[in-house]
Structure 1
Amino acid sequence: MRADDVSLQSLIGSESHTDPVLVFDGRPVSRAEFSRMVGQTTAWLAAQGIGKGDVVAVWLVNRVEWIALLFAAARLGAIVAAVNTRYRSAEVAHLLKLSGAKLLVVEAAFRSIDFASILAGIGKDEVPALQKLAVVGADAIPAQWSCVRFDAFDKPYPPAPTQDDIDLPVLLYTTSGTTKGPKLVAHSQRTLASHARAVAGALQLSQQRHSLLAMLPFCGTFGMTSLLGFIASGATVHVLDAFEATPALKILSERKITHSFGSDEMFRRILALTDVPRPFPQLEVCGFAAFQPGWRELAAEAESRGLPLFGLYGSSEVQALFSIARPGDAFADRIEGGGWPMSPDAKVRVRDTETGALAAPGVSGEIEISAPSRFLGYFNNPDATRDAITADGFFRTGDIGRIRGGAFVYETRAGDAMRLGGFLVAPGEIEDELKSCDGVADAQVVAVDLKGQARCVAFVIPAKTSPQQDMLTARLRERIAGYKVPARIYVVHSFPVTDSANGVKIQRAKLRAMAMERIAAE
């Protein structure tokens, strides 16, 4: 390949380096060793009949085999479809069918996940392209398909011819999904590797000084992007096979980690395990995604204990770590989603959802992005791709935000934003006011149609005693505009949630359905 190619292989750098690039469960893997693993895996894939354009589904926890398979597929012109280890039969079947995967590389077992039982719930006729399973950690698992052992690192296979087209699809992420099932987001070596280099450059990563705790799953863009960015920098990456707070705390403390990325809940759990006032003095950046209510309070506590949280932005389509706050930003700005694009070639604009015109700075609308990190399209779905891209090449994110100086602020998903009284309102604004009220431990707000008018409905989790709706309403009327005051406030003991590759998220669609059911019952 040419020296200027933005390939995945180019991220490895010199194969003569003996410094560890990855550390799995205390075992270091040098660049030279990893490069050998990639070569062995390339030969193994070819021996399984995988070639240009073929799809390999990878259903593994964070392990070196996962990354070797991705880099090896790139050499062959093959495609990796990332399978979330939290998926169950219907979700796995949907991904396998949509991707047309010929080979599924799967864990033999991991903790309480029974992979064989999940596969037993999938009919062979549902996934007609699937021909074979390759098992990591065992010779075979009970299955309807023939099984081979993933033995690329143990057994020599004949070398395979490689290709050098860096613009072919190489990795498929799943979107968070709709009622019709998630789409597959296709990225090439160019989009992945160029963004990895942009991340390393924007964060000013040093091979000698910096290190990463990788505690997010590789199957999602949040985990993969942070991993590739640090590989590009040459810095060492300490990997958790799956997130647990106790081993994360141990690595952060003992390995003098400087960077980590995760959900707000991950950092909350880590902090809860230690009483040390400032347990991680070496930490420089902890990029976090705010999936749970109370993230502002968490950020303030973390800041006081020396764990610096930075808001960021990303999606499967433009990749995670698309942007991040800067150390010089005011604390209130630094913890908000959005920030400054990593790539100097990225462009962000905001479009008014009512008029269709570009919005002025400070005015909320739909975020649109043009960047080298942008996806190729939705795999085998040209109609969805066409709908998602503007005529001049910007991705319609479906997210609401506003421009602030040279940066931007992410406010909410477009489906979650509420147009109340003619104004676009982020639920978090009202939720924060509710959480400041006595008796409210947590709050979620959604919009519903009430007698032909858009109104918001709140669900609150009580603290010690249940708050009274009239008292909450009276306080809100003193604090926010009348059109933002919820028409109903319901007390619940928990919110409906769903697991994703990057963390637990509130199911606002279910909250809206709950609101309509309760109003109808009245």
Structure 2
Amino acid sequence: MLTDRFSLQSLIRTEAASPAFVFDGTPVSPAEFAERIEQTAAWLAAHGIGRGDVVAVWLVNRIEWLALLFAAARLGAVVAAVNTRYRSAEVAHLLRVSGAKLMVVEAAFRSIDFAAILADIAKDEVPALRQLAVVGADAIPAHWPCVRFDAFERPYPPAPPTQDDIDLPVLFYTTSGTTKGPKLVAHSQRTLATHAASIVQALKLDPQRHSLLAMLPFCGTFGMTSLLGFIAAGATIHVLDAFEAAPAAKILSACRITHSFGSDEMFRRILALTDAPRPFPHLEICGFAAFQPGWRELAAEAEARGMSLFGLYGSSEVQALFSIGRGSDAFADRIEGGGWPMSPDAKVRVRDVETGELAAQGVSGEIEISAPSRFLGYFNNPEATREAITADGFFRTGDIGHLRGDGSFVYETRAGDAMRLGGFLVAPGEIEDELKSCAGVADAQVVAVNLKGQARCVAFVIPAGEPPRQDALTAHLRERLAGYKVPARIYVVDAFPVTDSANGVKIQRARLRGMAMERIAAE
């Protein structure tokens, strides 16, 4: 039998007085949302989707996206979330690995030409795909037959009875890309619903008092997890189809939003639009992921203007909002990545990457997590799943951090970005912060390279006005840091190489390492 408490359907509070969602000013009540789910389940069933079938969803943030996820759960099917930033190779990889039979796709959105991207994919690259369903048009130019997604426009025969296995996959997220392409992270209704309930309890969400601005894409865990938490709370969710600072600022102010989650760059852009000393007085929590240099300075400015930023931690494998800072934390602690796990049943430990032993509090190592929010595994990739999960069920995050000793932890950096210098594990941010305190330095990034058989760090700085002299910067660092942390080279650049992700703009540290080696070789 279906364990209602752990189903996605159980999250919908149809008795709630507040709207479930507001899309572009149009409210959708919980009852209307439940009806949309039934309509979508009927539509999917009429188009041959049933238990175990995979539907790829390539949409911006719209009610159809959510109805498809909940309807798939109703039928025992699976949604594969497609990042709207993906291009042909990435879309083809996801379709091929997931085995999706059907893709629901936008007709068009702003500058994204979905049809042109699909035209670059050969039919034999994705043999399982049978059909496209188009939102907003009858068809788009494509190699596959097209139908209109008209679930809300005309009736279909009712869907079969609700499926009863809440531990089967229901949603695939994609991991960050690798040379072999992204892996598909499988979650069940149980992992999604239990984590949503944990968020409600940890954040003490009150449907009468709290509301969410959803400005992150639903295709990623950061956007989806925050959304599910507020659905579970019965609180109103105002949705942006895609992030833009001006509409976000307008909704934050006009709708008295209390919570929002996003990247540091999103909040930076929102704050830059207004000179008001306290532009968003109703905001209580802004959970942010630090992807850009200068995030500490941003947090301080935001704090002074009444926008409290909270550091957090998450991943596709353990879901976003796995943990977050607390209002009772000291400001410097509250804005650090990591924080306190949402679930009382979550366990976090740190393993010394050199010895393989568990590390004491304050000692940096790889973060390992056991929690009800943990993924089922990587879809159709048992080898990668075995490598990622320990014998006692902890997920090896590939992130470096340390325990504080009070139940919270600190995320420092990705394991690939951490530097082993002078025999010690060093987070690049420590050196970057010192560089940014120097006159003439606007931003800094530090990477490790192999220099004459030794691991050394190299810095790239963006000047503030007249470019600073390397010898002056080096002298300052020698006074402030251990010798092994002082960069072997400091290069001045106009900008850092960046890449767009579903959740924001990120520095391409691998490219920086390549640039460092190229410049050293040229010497």
Q: State the TM-score, normalized to the length of structure 2.
A: 0.99
| Residue pairs, 1:14-33, within 5 angstroms | 14=14, 16-17=15-16, 19-33=18-32
In the other structure, the counterpart of 1:361 is: 361
Measure the CA separation in 2 of the matches of 1:18 and 1:32.
Answer: 10
In structure 1, runs of 5+ residues without a counterpart are none
CA contact (8 A) 1:174 1:183 kept: yes
In the other structure, the counterpart of 1:104 is: 103
In the other structure, the counterpart of 2:269 is: 269
Deviates more, 1:487-496 or 1:16-25: 16-25
| Residue pairs, 1:116-135, within 5 angstroms | 116-135=115-134
In the other structure, the counterpart of 2:343 is: 343
Q: Secondary structure at the match of 1:466?
A: coil
In the other structure, the counterpart of 1:426 is: 427
The structural deviation recorded for 1:160 is 1.8
In the other structure, the counterpart of 2:159 is: 160
Measure the CA separation in 2 of the matches of 1:465 and 1:315.
Answer: 40
In the other structure, the counterpart of 2:138 is: 139
Measure the CA separation in 2 of the matches of 1:414 and 1:237.
Answer: 35
The structural deviation recorded for 1:391 is 0.3
In the other structure, the counterpart of 1:305 is: 305
CA contact (8 A) 2:499 2:506 kept: yes
CA contact (8 A) 2:2 2:163 kept: no
* Matched residue type, 1:243: F
The structural deviation recorded for 1:13 is 2.5
C-alpha deviations, 1:55-104, integer Å up to 9, x for none?
Answer: 10000000000000000000111100000111111111111111111100
The structural deviation recorded for 1:5 is 3.2
The structural deviation recorded for 1:4 is 4.7
C-alpha deviations, 1:264-299, integer Å up to 9, x for none?
Answer: 000000000001000111110000000000000000
In the other structure, the counterpart of 2:520 is: 519
Instruction: Indicate whether 1:194 and 2:197 are aligned.
Output: no
| Residue pairs, 1:100-499, within 5 angstroms | 100-161=99-160, 162-404=162-404, 405-499=406-500
* Matched residue type, 2:495: S
The structural deviation recorded for 1:430 is 0.2
The structural deviation recorded for 1:179 is 1.3
CA contact (8 A) 2:2 2:166 kept: no
C-alpha deviations, 1:291-345, integer Å up to 9, x for none?
Answer: 0000000000000000000000000000000000000000000000000000000
Measure the CA separation in 1 of the matches of 2:13 and 2:470.
Answer: 61
Q: Secondary structure at the match of 1:36?
A: helix
* Matched residue type, 1:319: Q
Q: Secondary structure at the match of 1:172?
A: strand
CA contact (8 A) 2:16 2:234 kept: no
Q: Secondary structure at the match of 1:498?
A: strand
Deviates more, 1:319-328 or 1:176-185: 176-185
CA contact (8 A) 2:457 2:489 kept: yes
CA contact (8 A) 1:61 1:241 kept: yes
CA contact (8 A) 2:98 2:379 kept: yes
Measure the CA separation in 2 of the matches of 1:18 and 1:54.
Answer: 35
Measure the CA separation in 2 of the matches of 1:4 and 1:50.
Answer: 23
CA contact (8 A) 2:172 2:187 kept: yes
C-alpha deviations, 1:195-221, integer Å up to 9, x for none?
Answer: 000001100000100000000000000
In the other structure, the counterpart of 1:66 is: 65
Measure the CA separation in 1 of the matches of 2:163 and 2:445.
Answer: 51
Measure the CA separation in 2 of the matches of 1:144 and 1:239.
Answer: 33
CA contact (8 A) 1:89 1:118 kept: yes
The structural deviation recorded for 1:130 is 0.5
* Matched residue type, 1:157: Y
Aligned sequence identity (%) = 84
In the other structure, the counterpart of 1:40 is: 39
CA contact (8 A) 1:18 1:32 kept: no
* Matched residue type, 1:285: I
TM superposition outliers: structure 1 runs of 4+ over 6 Å = none
CA contact (8 A) 2:137 2:148 kept: yes
In the other structure, the counterpart of 1:93 is: 92
* Matched residue type, 1:204: K
In the other structure, the counterpart of 1:510 is: 511
CA contact (8 A) 1:43 1:158 kept: yes
CA contact (8 A) 1:420 1:484 kept: yes
C-alpha deviations, 1:96-120, integer Å up to 9, x for none?
Answer: 1111111000000101111111111
Measure the CA separation in 2 of the matches of 1:423 and 1:439.
Answer: 29
CA contact (8 A) 1:40 1:156 kept: yes
C-alpha deviations, 1:469-502, integer Å up to 9, x for none?
Answer: 1111011001111000000001111111111111
In the other structure, the counterpart of 2:78 is: 79
The structural deviation recorded for 1:18 is 5.1
C-alpha deviations, 1:13-38, integer Å up to 9, x for none?
Answer: 23x54530110000000010000000
Q: Secondary structure at the match of 1:160?
A: coil
* Matched residue type, 2:432: E
Q: Secondary structure at the match of 1:412?
A: strand
* Matched residue type, 1:483: Y
Q: Secondary structure at the match of 2:20?
A: strand
Measure the CA separation in 2 of the matches of 1:445 and 1:18.
Answer: 51
Measure the CA separation in 2 of the matches of 1:19 and 1:464.
Answer: 51
Measure the CA separation in 2 of the matches of 1:348 and 1:261.
Answer: 23
Q: Secondary structure at the match of 1:20?
A: coil
Measure the CA separation in 2 of the matches of 1:17 and 1:94.
Answer: 41
Measure the CA separation in 1 of the matches of 2:16 and 2:374.
Answer: 31
The structural deviation recorded for 1:3 is 6.1
The structural deviation recorded for 1:180 is 1.2
In structure 2, runs of 5+ residues without a counterpart are none
Measure the CA separation in 2 of the matches of 1:183 and 1:499.
Answer: 18
Measure the CA separation in 2 of the matches of 1:380 and 1:31.
Answer: 35
C-alpha deviations, 1:171-198, integer Å up to 9, x for none?
Answer: 0000011111110000000000000000
CA contact (8 A) 2:101 2:128 kept: yes
The structural deviation recorded for 1:242 is 0.2
Q: Secondary structure at the match of 2:276?
A: coil
* Matched residue type, 2:253: S
Measure the CA separation in 1 of the matches of 2:298 and 2:124.
Answer: 48
Number of matched pairs = 521
Measure the CA separation in 2 of the matches of 1:449 and 1:273.
Answer: 43
The structural deviation recorded for 1:406 is 1.0
Q: Secondary structure at the match of 2:137?
A: coil
CA contact (8 A) 2:72 2:79 kept: yes
Measure the CA separation in 1 of the matches of 2:457 and 2:361.
Answer: 26
Measure the CA separation in 2 of the matches of 1:92 and 1:275.
Answer: 41
